[in-house]
Structure 1
Amino acid sequence: MSLRATARIAADAGGGLPLLVSDGPLALRRTRAAGPYTRVTVVGAMSAPLGGDRLAIEAEVRDGARLLVDSAAATLALPGRSAEPAAYDVRISVGEGAVLHWLPEQLVCAAGSHLRMRTTVDLAPTARLVLREEQVLGRHGEPPGTLTTRLTVRRAGRPLLDQELAFGPLAPGGWDGGAVLGGHRATGQLLVVDPGFAEKPVEARLYGENAVVSPLAGPAALATAVAPDALALRRVLDDVRDGLVPF
């Protein structure tokens, strides 16, 4: 039987968590944070997502709140009894003057798995965001599963970013070619949205041979990287974050 689960988070300006609801494999825990942030850690309570599962996390960062969301371990997509792909939806809203750091661990797509992941973010005009996504295609020594991810971000109701990526044996051809992964098995993105970028836009630049930072048409910048493994990918994205994030 396929699993259905939705976990929910709401953070307010006083540092409170008026809503913190775990569900199924998505266990939410308030953990210690440095500085002015409230921190929530997602702890996997069981193996998921499997084929056919439908998982979701909903997060509301209310006006003036500061929230950091991370995870205790990587998310491992596995094949299941159902031939249907698994789905993992993340739905986020960030209010006026609020700040969200969304920094989960890697998503690992094991051989034979099929996952569709969708992240949707709605930002108020004065909201700030740091969002990291990392995908690892296959565990060590095994071929990748199939993964389709879509990241849609709206600011003040207007589109800021809408990006879809597909990898693995059921993805369209060319995903492993020189124009996409170039033989690498780890890839990731770091999105930073800051109203301050409107006055001082981020300049496009390369980070080493396999990462690039690009300004977006709005007060935002997107870093995209590929790497041979998860550790190398994290090092690159951490370097980018240190250079981009003033908050």
Structure 2
Amino acid sequence: MTGVRATARIRARADGRGGTSLPVLEGEGPLALRRTRGSGAEARVVVVGAMSGPLGGDRFAVEAEVEDGARLRVGSAAATIALPGQAKGEARYDVRISVAGGGELLWLPEPLISARGSELYVTTRVELAATARLVLREEQVLGRAGEEPGRLGSRLTVRVGGRTVLDQELACGPGAPGGWDGPAVLAGQRAVGQLVVVRPEFATQPVVARAVGDQAAVMPLAGPAALVSAVAPDGLRLRRALDEALEHLG
């Protein structure tokens, strides 16, 4: 038995009247897209999970393109829960993002929860023009309440102006390389997350590395970018730590 294949596509374009249009807004199968009320020049899209998953063997993909001068915010209606399925093998969830010059993207989905027995690998690849702006949030919760996690792997790659500013990979759960739950990685915490913030002004005013509270740290990246990393006992406290760090970035 094979898993489900589904791809969702978004394209945002400046409409010439101070707003943003969505000439492409296509979802299929378990990935439904809904446009919601925007604010000012910003268009807003919500990803709605129409089915459970991803399950074992599923292949999901989301592609988002922001053209010159457009502004887009993408969120999700609820957390994504990776579950075991009848099909054998690892599920995959691939996100592909591109933002042209003068464009802005806020990529703010709800958390990904790795349920016991699941096996999921997530890749996120971001390609930005030198004058693009980005806030990208990733949150991963290892197991539901009182539950051991499944196996979860993720890789995040961000390029700005053709230059790689971030390429990192994390593996957690049963079968992951040893030490993932040790003091150098999660230190026994059950939620891990990060923010990638790209702003042209960071090129001349770099972010200063610092801790934010007890659970988050802000680090400058090469080029006009910064990374916030955080760990916490649960998803609620993880979100609070990331929100606080974003406020410190201004």
**What TM-score, normalized to structure 2?**
0.96
Aligned to 1:134: 139
Aligned to 1:104: 109
Match for 1:84 among 80, 89, 102? 89
Aligned to 1:5: 6
Task: For 2:32 and 2:246, locate their aligned partners in 1 and report how far apart those are by CA, in whole Å.
Answer: 27
Counterpart check, 1:144 vs 2:149: yes
Task: For 2:215 and 2:241, locate their aligned partners in 1 and report how far apart those are by CA, in whole Å.
Answer: 9
Task: For 2:180 and 2:38, locate their aligned partners in 1 and report how far apart those are by CA, in whole Å.
Answer: 38
Task: For 1:10 and 1:186, locate their aligned partners in 2 and report how far apart those are by CA, in whole Å.
Answer: 31
Task: For 2:143 and 2:231, locate their aligned partners in 1 and report how far apart those are by CA, in whole Å.
Answer: 14
Task: For 1:189 and 1:165, locate their aligned partners in 2 and report how far apart those are by CA, in whole Å.
Answer: 12
Task: For 1:125 and 1:23, locate their aligned partners in 2 and report how far apart those are by CA, in whole Å.
Answer: 32
Give 2:39's aligned amino acid.
Answer: A
Match for 2:73 among 51, 55, 68? 68
| 4+ aligned runs moved over 3 Å, structure 1 | none
Deviation at 1:36, TM superposition (A): 2.5
Match for 1:156 among 158, 161, 166? 161
Task: For 1:170 and 1:16, locate their aligned partners in 2 and report how far apart those are by CA, in whole Å.
Answer: 44
Matches within 5 A, 1:214-229: 214-229=219-234
**What TM-score, normalized to structure 1?**
0.98
Do 2:216 and 2:245's aligned partners in 1 also have CA atoms closer than 8 Å? Answer: no
What is the CA deviation profile of residues 13-55 of structure 1, one whole-angstrom value per residue up to 9, with x for unaligned ones?
1211000001111100001123321000001100010000000
Deviation at 1:197, TM superposition (A): 0.5
1:32 counterpart SS class: strand
Aligned to 2:210: 205
Deviation at 1:79, TM superposition (A): 0.4
What is the CA deviation profile of residues 87-138 of structure 1, one whole-angstrom value per residue up to 9, with x for unaligned ones?
0000000001000000000000000000000000000110010000000000
Do 2:126 and 2:157's aligned partners in 1 also have CA atoms closer than 8 Å? Answer: yes
Deviation at 1:208, TM superposition (A): 1.4
Counterpart check, 1:59 vs 2:64: yes
Deviation at 1:160, TM superposition (A): 1.1
Match for 2:244 among 239, 242, 245? 239
Q: Which runs of 5+ in 2 are unaligned?
A: none
Task: For 1:156 and 1:34, locate their aligned partners in 2 and report how far apart those are by CA, in whole Å.
Answer: 28
Aligned to 1:194: 199
State the superposition RMSD in angstroms.
0.8
Matches within 5 A, 1:167-186: 167-186=172-191
Q: How many equivalent pairs are there?
A: 245
Q: Which runs of 5+ in 1 are unaligned?
A: none
Q: What is the percentage of aligned positions where both structures have the same residue?
A: 65
2:56 counterpart SS class: coil
Give 2:4's aligned amino acid.
Answer: L
